[in-house]
Structures are given as structure tokens and as C-alpha cells.
Chains A and B, each alone.
Chain A
Amino acid sequence: MNTLRLSLLRDDLAVSDKPLLFSVFLLIFGGIACIFSAGGGMEQGRGYAIRQLVWCAVSCGAYVSVVAVGYRKFMDLAYPIYALTLLLLVLMMAFAPEVKGAQRMISLGVIRVQPSEFGKISLILVLSKFLSRYPPLSLKLFLAGLAVGAPVLLMVLIQPDLGSSLVYMVIILAALFTAGTPLKYLFSFGALGAASFPFLWLFLKDYQKMRLLVFLDPTRDPLGAGYNVIQSRIAVGSGSFWGKGFLQGLQSKLRFLPEPHTDFIFSVYAEEFGFLGSSLLLIFFGIVFTRMVAAGLKNRDVRAKLLIAGITAWIWFQMFEGIGMSMGLMPVTGLTLPFLSYGGSSLLSLSIALGLVGSICVDSAKPYKQLYSESK
């Protein structure tokens, strides 16, 4: 029985999207190289790089497990998982210490977990389930869809974790968009959001206001947040076409870049691998997005399509923000660059998401009959 299960799993993994996984592995290993380099090579970088490798191995395990379980099971449990996520966020508000300007974490012995990372998956699951059952074609259902996503978004916002809450917002909007919301609703909602910005400004923390102001005018705080932007741009720009070469970047070594192994990992990458390497990076991200969307188009399950839309939007936004920020084109939010940044929670949650995508591929490959008999 067990061997049968294992061979079934082997078949399942065999239909995984190879270009997708290949690109992801390249991105992860590029990230590990940069983490190694950012920590000054053997000095501190080795420790970070080894830990990231361990997380990579753990993440592979997570990917295989999720494929084995199948996205349908996750779908069935979408509401309980979402409730649990909310509970966890509430508990964390009450007990976890606030790290200035950073995501809150729950400490589990030696490892620290960021629930806001896993909350993204939970949000995507619940939106997919809800919006496939109640397509947001009327204003009422559109608002209902928004209301489903709002609690977790608000919890993250009051942490306060502005960066993650932006990701949550993007996920909600992408799911609503894909589910077929009439565009007039989305545009009205966007206009409403823009109009309420001056009001929201009052709720931002000082450092968040500073980051936004610095984005508009980096000279406002040349040694603080503005300094990061200036120095990061120097790192990227000085990479030039070929890059300075692996371990040859100076900006990160000379401690010009803050958090070079997490938030500013792309600056390290761009400085050392240049325009050539950066373009390749964009191409691999492009492959990841294309393959994911293709998997969504291929599957006939509406929930799967929405799931794909949410995951794609999440990874896309963090990529766009991470790379844009390092050039000073986006404000500094403290988000990680998917697959490349150091951090176990980030990598693990991404691999779970990819596991869901993998499982959707498996699902599409099965004949309809088999699906039918399985669900019976």
C-alpha cells in the first residue's frame, strides 16, 4: 500500500512543471550566492548561506508534501485554516514583541516564524474558495469578497506591517480581478483608496511616513532611509553591464547597504552580476509567472485558477517591490525578494504555494474520470 502511494507520488512529481521548478531553483541558488556574498563571504556569509541551504532542503520537503496532499484538501480546509491564521495573528498581537519596522515573529525555540508569511497562503485559499462559490459579479458580492479578505489585512496592518499588508491588498485585488469583478467596481474602489490616502496618513507610524517621504525625496533623510536609497542605487548602477563579479561588490561589504541579505539582496545581486545578470533574473521570474499562469489556464477548476492568480500576484508584487526599491523606483517597505532573500518563513511559504501550483498541474494531468472517482 505504502509503496503504491509512493509510486503514485512519484508519478505526481513527474508531471510537475520542470521549467518552473528549474527557474525557481536557479533563483534560490542565486539568492544563496548573494547571501554568502552579502555577509562578506566566509566571515558571516557562510553561516547565513548554510542556514538558507537548510531552509531550501526543508522547503523541498514542504513542496513534496503539499503535492502529495493535493490542493483540493487544502481547499476543503480553507475556512478553518483562515480562522486559525486570524487567531494566530491575534495571539501574536498580544504576546509577541514588536521589532521596530519589522514583521512580528513568533519564537518557537530556535526558529522564529512570521505568521504574516503563511497568512498570505491562507488568504489566497479562502478567497479562491469564496469567490468561486460567489463570483463577484454584483456589487454586493464584490463587497462580500473584500470583506472576506479584510480581517487578515487589518490584523497585519495594525501590527504594524505596512509592507505585508500591501501584499495582502494586492492578493485580494488580484483574486477579485481574476474572478471576474466588473472593472467599474475595481476602478471605483481604487479611486476611493486614493481619496482616503490623506486620512490613512494619520495612522502611519513616523518611520513609515519617513519612508514614503524619502521615496518622494531621498535627500530628506540622507543618512537614514534616504541613505539606503542613495547607496542602493549606487550599488545597482555601479554594477554596470557585466557586474563587478561574485564577491567583488563593495557597497554591501563596506556596510553601505542596510540588511544586504534580506531587503536589499537585489542590490547585492545587481552590483555583482550587472545588467546581464539582472536581466537574466527578470527572465527567470518571467518564466515562473508564465508557467504558473499556464497551469491556471490548463486546469478546469475555477478555484485552481483563482489560487494561481493569488499566488502569482503575491510573488509578482514582492518581486516588483524588491527590485524597484533597490533602484529607488519604489518606497522602502521591508519586504523580501521572493526566492532570493534570506529567511526561512519566506522560503517555506513560497514552497508551499509552489506545492499548490504543482498539485494543480497534477490535477490537470489526470483524466476527468479519475478525478470523479477520487472525489467519490
Chain B
Amino acid sequence: MPEIRDILDARLKMLMYGIFVSLLVLFTGLYFFQIVQADKYIRLAYNNRLRLIRFLPPRGGIFDRSGVPLAVNETTFSIMGYPLDLDKPGMLSHVSSVLSAHGIPVSVEDLKKTVRKQRWAPYQVIRLVPNLTMVQMAELFADPEFPSQLFPLPVWRRIYPAGAIAANITGFVGEISEAELRNNPPGRYVGGDIVGKSGIERSYEERLRGTAGEEAIEVNARGRKVRSVDVLKPSKGEDLYLTLDMGAQKLAMELLSGYRGAVVAMDVKTGAVLVSASSPTYDNNPLAWGVSAKEWQELTEDRDKPMLDRAIAGVYPPASTFKALVALAALEEGVIAPATTFSCPGFLKLPSRTFRCWRRSGHGSVNLAGALQNSCDVYFYQVGMRLGIDKLLKWCKKFGLGVPTGVDLPGESGGNIAGPGWKKKRLGENWYQGDTINYSIGQGYLLLTPFQIVRLYAAIANGGYLVTPHFVASESRAPADIGLLPEKLAAVQKGLDRVVSRGTGARAGSFGVAVAGKTGTAQNAHGMDHALFAGYAPADNPQYVAVAMVEAGAHGGSVASPIVGEILAHILSHPAEKNESEGD
């Protein structure tokens, strides 16, 4: 038998010869680069000839459902320079004085800070001064004093045609912060890049940003470009079409003017958001090209909180709008039937305390539809007591309360549906029946965002499906079936119908469409009561749902319900145009 060891030894030797050949290849490679081409690489390395410019990609635009622009780009110019030129003594102060002479006040300290922040490699270009107009740029370059090592680079600047009307939705962009740079994988961004800071600009950063372009150039000793070594063209970010209806959004902002509050309108079946107005608001244009620390402070410290998006992050007691959920929970749990009646003498007397109905004279004997129609508190006190806090909270969770709705905007609040456990832990107190009674009319510790309320009413309107509110159709999730019995739902819908047709929300019905909904008046410890209305239309075949929340608006029936009525009427009478992007 041919000795297996001999084969192995022969193969081992062959392996060794192969390795020798590979070492020879490496040796030849080293010889080529370090001896033959050494001069070329020494020149490249020592003469600092290779420089790199990064082109920011044009950011994708943001449009409403019919193509109305919300965020677009405009070309401006930046003054660029290389660290190794800028590091020369006196350079920055010279630049600063030349700029000042042309009416562009930039201090030496600011320039130093800019250079420090963007420094990455000596041949990596730095954006020294951004946002110059064509005229400013031409003047500067005509000035013989202007350092020849600096050069202009056309860049886009973000502008928001809709400005304050949709600032809470579009958000704004800004230069990437050092913290954001650290939190991203290396290489994804570099200092000076523009990123979304809030709103859609932030949540869809990945789709909007595009890919940066780069150019490696060889320059002469004076820093002027000799030739281009490598070029990679930037590619534009994706254009986003929102489900937003700018016409309705504008109307909502007008209706809210003078108030603090929010208006939200949504497609009941898909969760596509048509209106999300928050008042007061702010202009996002100046924020996109940088405001001073003082201006920023003024905005953030304003007592009316214009930068707070009240639609997603404002939390309010839902007040009587919550009664629809209490009614549904009680019907589903079987503790009442639609025909169950309670007597309302204007108050409910418990051993510990007396709870009053909003109508001191009482509503007499009321059933479910009547109780919703007239927003009878005593009826719901009784229902709440029968239901109990645990079952009520169970149904809150089923309707997605207590957690963010998942809308595609950053900074959404989850509200608060704290129960006995929370009270024990936070306040060290037991849960009393009075707390349950407060919850049954949407008061107490209960806090919801307008988006949570609108989603709750969408589920009532669409037959019991919990939708995920969204502004970008492709990001929508399929509605989740809560599992409501149709006849129980119909009983509540009937009550909501009567709220508008002959009850507390009658003013919502005065715009030519049949609205069903519920008023709410939330007690406010700091001033006048908050006014609320949540409703959907058309009442018999719901398509859209809307909620209006007016802080210190006194009574829901008089202030909030006409807003919802008008918005729903506007949406129904202005169907989306052909090029809408909502596919589902």
C-alpha cells in the first residue's frame, strides 16, 4: 500500500511551495509600490495633493396628498476651505475681517468653532460659512483680499413653503450635532451634514437624506484644483407624499387661531392622517438654517409652548368623550344593556362623598342613548361602578390607550391610564371608588393625546378596528380587530348620533354633513375648562374622524364641536385629487 504518510508529506511540501510563491507575489507588490512607484506616492503623501470634498445630497421633498409642497430645497452657496489652509496663523481673522467688510458678520471664535467641529482629516474640506446668496458670493470672490484657498460650493437649503401651518408635522432640519454624530455608525455622517431634527424630517431621515457625493481632487501648491481624481455623484433623497390635506390643515389652523389646542382628522379605515394642527405654532424656516441661541431659547421657553405638538404630545383629560369607551366596555362586559336605565336626580350620593351631574337639575330616568345624548354624568357613575376599574382599564388597553399610537412622528406621548397599582406606588394611597367614578366620566388621573382620542373614535366608527395613524401611506400597518360585537357598537353609535342630531354637540351638525360624536368639557385647575369634541362623518357611513381640543375653550359643545363639524365637512366636500399617494 502506498504509504499515506508519503502522500501527506508530498502535499505538505506542495503547500510550502505555494506559500513561497505567494510570498514572492507580495514581495513583487511591495517592490512595485515602494520602489517603482515610490515617487508618486511620496508626492501624494508629502505634498498633500489629495483633497476630498463631500457633496450633500439634495434632500427629498415633502408634499401633501395632492402635491402641495411642504418642504423643498433652494440652492445657496457655502464658503469651503481645507483645515491645512485654515490652520495657518492669522487666516481665520483675515477671513473674518473680509466677511465683515461685505456685511457678513462672523466672529473669529465662530470660525474656529466651525473648523474644530468639522475637522476629520487635513484634506477633508470644511464648510466655513453656509447659506450665502449668489450675489454675496459673487461680491466676495471679486474682492482681491478674499483668500484664494477658499472656494464656493453650491448647496441646497431647506425651505418650508407651508411654514407654521404644518411645522409640527414636517419638523425641520439642522446641522448634525456632535451627539448625533457619535450615535450613528462611523462613516454614515460627517460633521456639517444636514439631518432631520424633528417631525417627518426626522422620522423619515433615512428615506429623505439620499446618498452623499464625494470628489477626490488633486490640487496645486496654492490649493487650487488641478484635476479630479475620483468623483461619486450624490443621489437625491426620496420625495415623500404625505396623507395630509393642506386645505383642511390650513382651515384647522384658522379655526384654532387665538386658542391653544389641537385638531386631528383621520381616515377611519386606514388611519391616514389628513389634519394634525397644533396651536400656537412656529415658523420652521429660520430653524432650518440656524437660529441664534437667544432665538432658540425664546422659542423653547415660550409659556404657550409653540414647539410642543399638542396633537401627539399634548395630554388632556378626555372628559365626556371618554364616555363612549365606558359605554362600550360596559356593554361588552354585559354589566348594562342599551335599554338599562338609571335615574339621575342631578347627583350621586355615596357614603364618603357626593358626585354631581353637570346638570344640577338632573336628567331623570335615562338609558344609554339618552345618557350619551345629554352627557349624563350620573348614568356613567353608575355604569363605572358596575364595571369596576380593572375591566375599564382592560378596555382602555384594548383601544390602545396608555401607549403611543405609533404615528410616524417623533416625540409622541403615551398619555396616562394609571390604575390602582400606580396610585399606590406614586401617591401611597389606595384606590377609592371615587377614583373609578372620576374615570367613568374621563377625569381623574386619566390623560390622553388627541391622537389617542381620534384613534378611539375611528375604532367606534369603522366597526371595531384599531388603526395606526400615519402620514406616509407606505408605512401604514394593517388595522387590528378589537373584537367588538356589532350590536353593542351600534348602540353606542346611535347615542353618538343623537349627541349631534339633538344633544350637546348639535353645532357640529350645522355644516351640511351628518356628524356623530361626543362633546367633552375637561376640568382645568389652571383656568377655564378645556373644550373637546370627537366625532366622525358621515354618521351613517363613517369615512373620516376628527377631534378638536381647545385649551381653556370653556364648553366642548360651543367651541370644539363646530370646529370638528367644519373640518369634516371640508374634507368630505374636497376629495383628494388624482395624484394622491394613498394607495390603500
Q: Which of A86-94, A103-111, A218-226, A355-363 contacts B (4 or more CB under 8 A)?
A: A218-226
Is A141 interfacial (CB-CB < 8 Å)?
Answer: no
Is B296 interfacial (CB-CB < 8 Å)?
Answer: no
Closest to A222 in B: B230
CB atoms of A255 and B13 under 8 A apart: no
The interface residues of chain A, by DSSP majority, are classed as: helix
When distances are taken between beta carbons in the complex, the residues of chain A under 8 Å from B121 are: 254-256
CB atoms of A297 and B216 under 8 A apart: no
CB atoms of B34 and A305 under 8 A apart: no
Q: Which of A20-28, A76-84, A283-291 contacts B (4 or more CB under 8 A)?
A: A283-291
A240 smallest CB distance to B (angstroms): 4
CB atoms of B46 and A238 under 8 A apart: yes
Is A100 interfacial (CB-CB < 8 Å)?
Answer: yes
Given A313-B15, A324-B26, A220 and B42 touching (CB < 8 A)? no
A219-B216, A237-B40, A305-B9 provided; 9 other pairs, C-beta below 8 A? A221-B232, A223-B214, A255-B120, A282-B23, A286-B19, A293-B13, A300-B5, A305-B5, A323-B29
When distances are taken between beta carbons in the complex, the residues of chain B under 8 Å from A250 are: 45-46
Closest to A225 in B: B187
The complex places the Cα of A135 from the Cα of B26 at a distance, in Å, of 33
When distances are taken between beta carbons in the complex, the residues of chain A under 8 Å from B31 are: 275
The complex places the Cα of A270 from the Cα of B25 at a distance, in Å, of 16
Closest to B31 in A: A275
Find B12's partner among A238, A241, A274, A293 (CB 8 Å cutoff).
A293
Interface 1/0s, chain A 282-322, versus B by CB < 8 A? Answer: 10011001100100110010100110110011001000100
Given A297-B9, A297-B13, A286 and B38 touching (CB < 8 A)? no
A207 smallest CB distance to B (angstroms): 9
When distances are taken between beta carbons in the complex, the residues of chain B under 8 Å from A278 are: 30, 34
CB atoms of A234 and B45 under 8 A apart: yes
Which of A178, A223, A240, A256 has the most chain B CB atoms closer than 10 A to its own CB? A223
The complex places the Cα of A233 from the Cα of B448 at a distance, in Å, of 61
Closest to B14 in A: A177
CB atoms of A305 and B12 under 8 A apart: yes
CB atoms of B230 and A226 under 8 A apart: yes
CB atoms of A282 and B27 under 8 A apart: yes
When distances are taken between beta carbons in the complex, the residues of chain B under 8 Å from A226 are: 230
Closest to A217 in B: B230
Is A156 interfacial (CB-CB < 8 Å)?
Answer: no
CB atoms of B45 and A251 under 8 A apart: yes
When distances are taken between beta carbons in the complex, the residues of chain A under 8 Å from B34 are: 236-237, 239-241, 270, 274-275, 278
Given A237-B37, A255-B120, A293-B16, A178 and B8 touching (CB < 8 A)? yes
The 8 closest A-B pairs by CB, nearest first: A237-B41, A238-B45, A222-B230, A219-B230, A275-B34, A240-B38, A223-B214, A180-B7
State how many residues of chain A have any CB contact under 8 Å with chain B: 58
Is A60 interfacial (CB-CB < 8 Å)?
Answer: no
Is A329 interfacial (CB-CB < 8 Å)?
Answer: yes
When distances are taken between beta carbons in the complex, the residues of chain A under 8 Å from B122 are: 254
Which of B12, B29, B31 has the most chain A CB atoms closer than 10 A to its own CB? B12
CB atoms of B232 and A222 under 8 A apart: yes
Task: Classify chain B: how many residues form its interface, as a range.
Answer: 35 or more
Interface 1/0s, chain A 258-290, versus B by CB < 8 A? Answer: 000000000000100011001100100110011
Is A235 interfacial (CB-CB < 8 Å)?
Answer: yes
Given A226-B230, A237-B41, A290-B16, A282 and B8 touching (CB < 8 A)? no
When distances are taken between beta carbons in the complex, the residues of chain A under 8 Å from B35 are: 240-241, 275
When distances are taken between beta carbons in the complex, the residues of chain B under 8 Å from A233 are: 33, 41
Closest to B30 in A: A278
Is A212 interfacial (CB-CB < 8 Å)?
Answer: no
The complex places the Cα of A306 from the Cα of B8 at a distance, in Å, of 8
Is A75 interfacial (CB-CB < 8 Å)?
Answer: no
Closest to B121 in A: A255
A50 smallest CB distance to B (angstroms): 25
The complex places the Cα of A61 from the Cα of B46 at a distance, in Å, of 44
Is A327 interfacial (CB-CB < 8 Å)?
Answer: yes
- In the complex, 29 of the A-B residue pairs with CB atoms within 8 angstroms, ordered by the A residue number, are A177-B11, A222-B216, A222-B231, A224-B187, A230-B216, A230-B230, A234-B50, A236-B30, A236-B34, A237-B33, A237-B34, A237-B42, A237-B44, A237-B45, A239-B34, A241-B35, A255-B120, A255-B121, A256-B121, A275-B30, A278-B30, A290-B16, A302-B5, A305-B9, A305-B12, A308-B12, A309-B11, A324-B29, A327-B33
Is A174 interfacial (CB-CB < 8 Å)?
Answer: yes
When distances are taken between beta carbons in the complex, the residues of chain B under 8 Å from A64 are: none
Is A49 interfacial (CB-CB < 8 Å)?
Answer: no
Is A347 interfacial (CB-CB < 8 Å)?
Answer: no
A193-236 at interface with B (beta carbon < 8 Å): 218-224, 226-227, 230, 233-236
Interface 1/0s, chain B 114-148, versus A by CB < 8 A? Answer: 00000011100000000000000000000000000
The complex places the Cα of A255 from the Cα of B121 at a distance, in Å, of 6
B127 smallest CB distance to A (angstroms): 15
CB atoms of B33 and A222 under 8 A apart: no
When distances are taken between beta carbons in the complex, the residues of chain B under 8 Å from A275 are: 30-31, 34-35
The complex places the Cα of A115 from the Cα of B33 at a distance, in Å, of 36
When distances are taken between beta carbons in the complex, the residues of chain B under 8 Å from A270 are: 30, 34
Closest to A317 in B: B22
When distances are taken between beta carbons in the complex, the residues of chain B under 8 Å from A327 are: 29-30, 33
A269 smallest CB distance to B (angstroms): 11
The complex places the Cα of A302 from the Cα of B7 at a distance, in Å, of 10
CB atoms of B12 and A234 under 8 A apart: no
CB atoms of A240 and B42 under 8 A apart: yes
The complex places the Cα of A254 from the Cα of B13 at a distance, in Å, of 44
CB atoms of A236 and B41 under 8 A apart: yes
When distances are taken between beta carbons in the complex, the residues of chain A under 8 Å from B15 are: 174, 177-178, 293, 309, 312-313
The complex places the Cα of A312 from the Cα of B50 at a distance, in Å, of 40
Is B4 interfacial (CB-CB < 8 Å)?
Answer: yes
When distances are taken between beta carbons in the complex, the residues of chain A under 8 Å from B23 are: 282, 285-286
Is A179 interfacial (CB-CB < 8 Å)?
Answer: yes
When distances are taken between beta carbons in the complex, the residues of chain A under 8 Å from B229 are: 219, 222
A255 smallest CB distance to B (angstroms): 5
When distances are taken between beta carbons in the complex, the residues of chain B under 8 Å from A222 are: 52, 214-216, 229-232
The complex places the Cα of A259 from the Cα of B434 at a distance, in Å, of 65
CB atoms of B12 and A178 under 8 A apart: yes
Is B54 interfacial (CB-CB < 8 Å)?
Answer: yes
A104-144 at interface with B (beta carbon < 8 Å): 135
